[in-house]
Amino acid sequence: NAGVTQTPKFQVLKTGQSMTLQCAQDMNHEYMSWYRQDPGMGLRLIHYSVGAGITDQGEVPNGYNVSRSTTEDFPLRLLSAAPSQTSVYFCASSDRAVYGSYNSPLHFGNGTRLTVT
Amino acid sequence: KNEVEQSPQNLTAQEGEFITINCSYSVGISALHWLQQHPGGGIVSLFMLSSGKKKHGRLIATINIQEKHSSLHITASHPRDSAVYICAVRHEKLTFGTGTRLTIIP
């Protein structure tokens, strides 16, 4: 059971380039989410999805797009990279939405360290 | 806005010591998570609790809903416990603390 798989582990982009961070889970989880982790700050939610075909914005969505065409995959797209997007990105999933009336442990990927120059 | 405060920010202790990490929050919540982030960066869920106390091996998590406070205890600490421990609380959404960096010296 692979859990949550994120690729790539490291990435360097130039300002203005675009790229997609991949996230896949094999646990049939309904809920998937993307966070960014910056020094001195807690994890911040970028986008989330409560099921295939459903996505919504989190706390810091600007500059990022997501889609959820399958239960397994939840890619994060950077449309035009900016130095402010230099961060460590984590994908997480759970078998119930952590919003609303559900509570369930989160399963995290190993993270993607992105540098934008 | 729900604020999550962890203390201490950094903690260094000798192997074998009893460790306590604290988490305080400002609004009513339905659940609190404790997470462990290894030096390599991966994040693992340790506990999710909404009342009382949970124990797993040498780790114990407690929560006092009335006082809006939770503690994570590690008994007989070991160098492999060295990590960043993160508290997260669920109100309308998950809000994460900035973490406590724990270093256990052999």
Which residues 1-30 of B have a C-beta within 8 angstroms of A? 4, 30
pLDDT at A18 exceeding the cut of 60: yes
Ranking A27-31, A54-58, A64-68, B26-30 by mean pLDDT, the lowest is B26-30
Tens digit of each residue's pLDDT (9 = 90 or more) over B52-94: 999 999 999 999 999 999 999 999 999 999 999 999 998 877 8
d(Cα A86, Cα A84) in Å, to the nearest integer? 5
pLDDT at B5 exceeding the cut of 90: yes
Query: Coil, strand or helix: which one is A83?
Result: helix
Tens digit of each residue's pLDDT (9 = 90 or more) over B20-62: 999 999 988 888 999 999 987 789 999 998 889 999 999 999 9
Query: Coil, strand or helix: which one is A56?
Result: strand
Q: Please tell me the predicted confidence (pLDDT) of residue A97.
A: 57
pLDDT at A5 exceeding the cut of 80: yes
How far is residue B55 from each of residues A24, A85, B74, measured CA to CA in Å?
31, 38, 10
Alpha carbon of A39: minimum distance to chain B alpha carbons (Å): 8
pLDDT at A38 exceeding the cut of 80: yes
Q: CB–CB of B90 and A45 under 8 A?
A: no
Ranking A2-6, A14-18, A93-97, B69-73 by mean pLDDT, the lowest is A93-97
Contact B45/A at CB under 8 A:
yes
pLDDT mean over A54-81: 96
Alpha carbon of B57: minimum distance to chain A alpha carbons (Å): 18
**Nearest chain B residue (CA) to A97:** B93
pLDDT at A101 exceeding the cut of 80: no
Q: Please tell me the predicted confidence (pLDDT) of residue B87.
A: 96
Q: What token pair was written down for B90? A: 């669920």
Give me the percent of chain B exceeding a pLDDT of 90.
77
User: Mutate which of A98, A99, A102, A114 to disrupt the B interface (most B C-beta within 10 Å)?
Assistant: A98
**Nearest chain B residue (CA) to A99:** B93
pLDDT at A37 exceeding the cut of 90: yes
Work out the pLDDT band at A42, boundaries 50, 70, 90: confident
Contacts of B67 (CB under 8 A, 6+ apart): none
Geometric angle at alpha carbon A101, from A98 and A108, rounded to 5°: 15
pLDDT at A114 exceeding the cut of 90: yes
Q: Please tell me the predicted confidence (pLDDT) of residue B1.
A: 58
Q: CB–CB of A105 and B90 under 8 A?
A: no
pLDDT at A76 exceeding the cut of 60: yes
